[in-house]
């Protein structure tokens, strides 16, 4: 049984002593925490002990009972207040009602009456305590369930099954806060096929997820949760430009996981969005980006925004799963994969015994989907630039085998075109980088970060593509270009070495000499003297456009 504390306040001590002696406090479930003779001291004790009940007179020096009660109700609203006074005045009674005083008792106090008051007060306090404890139990249960509720919310959100109008309510109920204006979905995939010897795949995946939380979640204030065998992160960005930094950090994490944990990890990164309702699209792209590991390799981050051509445009997809698979195979699969996808699509859609009307609609849908796919991938095909109505008519007249051959041929053709367009895009991308280097090599501040910022891509993606196209790293290419320029200036001019060093982007002449000797095997001065005999000699520059 709970025991409640009482503070007695009256400027007449003998009155307090009588009350203390006449009432069976322990039997009623109360104990007297103390007594004071004025409101100021009473307020000090209330602040110190926070008693359950304060029983006070009205007329007291320094602070009367009504002022004391007002302070207590403001600062300690759960404390119960009893007024006992010799003043039977309407104004006092009305103010007591306004302050929600439990009882307004007139002196002289009858012990039986006061005992009854405290007995009823005990019942009320017990009921309130029980209700609060029930609420606390529910609150504790809710808090224990909160992580599961949050994960369920995130999963439903990226599936696109929460209406935009409902999101704010869920955020409030589940105590989820997004502080930054931009969001981005990441899918962390750990290979179950390439695992260290004697390592359990589940333990390896759990280790990767824990490391991802430590190395990615804190900095990017990311919400993390498992979904369909992968780990999903919803990262927060202060600006859209931070996506390149995030991509680079994810790429470093993949390298770290391979080196330290022995896990082959690929991180897919979707588009940056402003609204939570757009996260389903960002997730879809991040998941698709993971699939591109068959082209770009594992143990790296793949940002859909950086994949060219516009392969992050998903408007070519249809509700037909088989056709979606066909388009996916055209993008990423082998010739055999494309042929198999064509057969599966035709068997599922055209050879399933549908009516003639349904067959005609399916042919129309197929032509429309292929047109959209071709346009979205920047592929110009004569097949879709001509009379589409005529093409539609020819397809309707085709036998099943002829239709299969046509779709197989066009699908393989689109695959080859896409490979060609992708290659042309990366070559154009690298050409822009090389041109920038050739125009800015004299700038000592020129760096990988500067070029990537100019191009709007991550360092990791740029480095991979640049080395693949040129056979050199960015630093290697820049250094060779600068050294070739320096070698020509040494032969064709009489300028001092430190002047030439500055013209090719080196502020430290000693370091310039070190790099030059490492490239040509001799110092700048010796290089000049060796080539001075033939003033017309020209030095070929490997980085020349």
pLDDT in tens, 436-464: 999 999 999 999 999 988 888 889 888 98
Asked if the structure places residue 169 within a domain, the reply is no
| 436: CB partners within 8 A, 6+ apart | 451, 454
User: Do residues 340 and 240 share a domain?
Assistant: no
Q: 418 lies in which domain range?
A: 321-422
How many domains, the chain? 4
User: What is the structure's pLDDT at 316?
Assistant: 46
Of residues 274 and 2, more confidence is placed in 274
Asked if the structure places residue 314 within a domain, the reply is no
Q: How many percent of the chain have pLDDT more than 70? A: 89
**Residue 182's domain is classified under what CATH number?**
3.30.70.270
User: Do residues 494 and 415 share a domain?
Assistant: no
User: Do residues 20 and 126 share a domain?
Assistant: yes
Q: How far is CA 77 from CA 29, 93, 94, 197, in A?
A: 21, 19, 19, 64
Partnered with residue 32 across adjacent β-strands are 6
Of residues 274 and 198, more confidence is placed in 274
- Asked if residue 475 lies in contact with residue 468, where contact means CB atoms within 8 angstroms, the answer is no
The pLDDT of residue 317 is above 50: no
Asked if the structure places residue 332 within a domain, the reply is yes
**Separation of first and last alpha carbons in the chain:** 91
User: Do residues 284 and 342 share a domain?
Assistant: no
Asked if the structure places residue 235 within a domain, the reply is yes
**Residue 61's domain is classified under what CATH number?**
3.40.50.2300
User: Do residues 290 and 355 share a domain?
Assistant: no
User: What is the structure's pLDDT at 537?
Assistant: 46
The pLDDT of residue 541 is above 70: no
Q: Which of these three, 387, 422, 457, is where a domain ends?
A: 422
User: Do residues 450 and 369 share a domain?
Assistant: no
Asked if the structure places residue 74 within a domain, the reply is yes
**Residue 513's domain is classified under what CATH number?**
1.10.10.60
Quick count: other Cβ atoms within 10 Å of Cβ 471?
Answer: 9
In terms of average pLDDT, the best of 38-52, 327-341, 500-514 is: 500-514
Q: How far is CA 265 from CA 272, 306, 368, 476, 530, in A?
A: 22, 19, 37, 28, 52
User: Do residues 32 and 122 share a domain?
Assistant: yes
User: Do residues 299 and 185 share a domain?
Assistant: yes
Q: Which of these three, 306, 337, 370, is where a domain ends?
A: 306
Asked if the structure places residue 331 within a domain, the reply is yes
Q: What is the C-alpha separation between 287 and 431, in angstroms, rounded?
A: 30
Asked if the structure places residue 267 within a domain, the reply is yes
CA dihedral 443, 448, 449, 453 (to 10 degrees): 90
Confidence of residue 360 (pLDDT cuts 50, 70, 90): confident
Query: Which two structure tokens, joined as six digits, stand for 97?
Result: 């009602």
User: Do residues 283 and 192 share a domain?
Assistant: yes
User: Do residues 183 and 291 share a domain?
Assistant: yes
The pLDDT of residue 383 is above 70: no
Confidence of residue 385 (pLDDT cuts 50, 70, 90): low
Confidence of residue 381 (pLDDT cuts 50, 70, 90): low
| 21: CB partners within 8 A, 6+ apart | none
User: What is the structure's pLDDT at 145?
Assistant: 85
Asked if the structure places residue 348 within a domain, the reply is yes
Confidence of residue 198 (pLDDT cuts 50, 70, 90): confident
User: What is the structure's pLDDT at 542?
Assistant: 40
Tell me: the pLDDT tens digits for 146-181?
889 999 999 999 999 999 999 999 999 999 999 999
Q: Which of these three, 244, 278, 306, is where a domain ends?
A: 306
User: Do residues 405 and 450 share a domain?
Assistant: no
User: Do residues 208 and 98 share a domain?
Assistant: no
Sign of the C-alpha dihedral computed for residues 308, 295, 336 and 353 taken in this order: negative
The pLDDT of residue 545 is above 50: no
| Residue located via tokens 């520059």 | 541
The pLDDT of residue 30 is above 50: yes
The pLDDT of residue 51 is above 60: yes
Tell me: the pLDDT tens digits for 63-101?
888 889 888 988 898 899 988 877 666 566 667 666 778
């Amino acid at each position: 049984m709970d025991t409640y504390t009482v503070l007695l306040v009256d400027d007449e001590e003998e009155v307090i002593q009588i009350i203390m002696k006449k009432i069976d406090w322990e039997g009623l479930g109360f104990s007297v925490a103390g007594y004071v003779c004025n409101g100021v001291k009473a307020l000090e004790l209330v602040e110190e002990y926070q008693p359950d009940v304060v029983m006070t007179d009205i007329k007291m020096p320094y602070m009367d009972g009504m002022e004391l009660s007002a302070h207590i109700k403001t600062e300690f609203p759960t404390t119960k207040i009893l007024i006992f006074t010799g003043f039977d005045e309407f104004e006092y009674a009305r103010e007591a009602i306004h302050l929600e005083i439990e009882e307004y008792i007139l002196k002289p106090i009858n012990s039986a009456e006061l005992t009854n008051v405290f007995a009823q007060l005990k019942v009320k306090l017990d009921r309130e305590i029980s209700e609060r404890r029930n609420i606390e139990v529910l609150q504790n249960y809710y808090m224990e369930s909160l992580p599961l509720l949050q994960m369920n919310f995130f999963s439903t959100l990226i599936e696109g099954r929460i209406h935009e109008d409902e999101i704010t309510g869920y955020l409030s109920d589940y105590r989820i806060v997004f502080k930054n204006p931009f969001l981005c979905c990441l899918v962390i995939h750990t290979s179950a096929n390439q695992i260290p010897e004697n390592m359990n795949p589940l333990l390896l995946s759990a280790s990767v997820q824990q490391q991802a939380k430590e190395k990615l979640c804190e900095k990017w204030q990311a919400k993390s949760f498992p979904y369909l065998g992968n780990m999903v992160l919803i990262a927060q960005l202060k600006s859209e430009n931070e996506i390149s930094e995030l991509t680079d950090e994810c790429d470093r994490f993949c390298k770290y996981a391979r080196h330290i944990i022995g896990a082959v990890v690929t991180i897919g990164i979707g588009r940056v969005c402003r609204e939570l309702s757009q996260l389903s699209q960002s997730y879809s792209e991040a998941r698709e980006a993971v699939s591109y590991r068959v082209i770009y390799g594992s143990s790296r981050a793949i940002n859909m925004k950086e994949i060219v051509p516009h392969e992050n445009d998903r408007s070519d997809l249809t509700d037909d799963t088989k056709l979606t698979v066909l388009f996916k195979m055209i993008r990423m699969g082998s010739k055999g994969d494309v042929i198999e996808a064509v057969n599966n699509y035709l068997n599922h859609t055209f050879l399933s015994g549908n009516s003639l009307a349904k067959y005609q609609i399916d042919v129309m849908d197929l032509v429309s989907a292929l047109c959209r796919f071709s346009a979205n991938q920047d592929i110009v095909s004569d097949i879709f630039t001509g009379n589409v109505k005529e093409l539609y008519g020819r397809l309707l007249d085709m036998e099943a085998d002829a239709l299969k051959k046509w779709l197989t041929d066009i699908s393989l053709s689109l695959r080859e075109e896409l490979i060609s367009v992708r290659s042309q895009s990366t070559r154009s991308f690298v050409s822009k980088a090389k041109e920038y280097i050739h125009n800015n090599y004299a700038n000592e501040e020129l760096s990988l970060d500067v070029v990537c910022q100019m191009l709007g891509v991550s360092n990791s993606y740029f480095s991979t593509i640049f080395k693949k196209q040129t056979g050199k790293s960015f630093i290697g290419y820049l250094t060779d270009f600068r050294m070739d320029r320096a070698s020509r200036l040494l032969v064709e001019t009489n300028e001092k070495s430190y002047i030439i060093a500055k013209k090719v982007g080196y502020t430290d002449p000693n370091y310039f000499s070190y790099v030059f000797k490492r490239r040509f095997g001799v110092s700048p001065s010796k290089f000049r003297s060796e080539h001075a005999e033939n003033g017309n000699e020209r030095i070929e520059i490997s980085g020349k456009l």
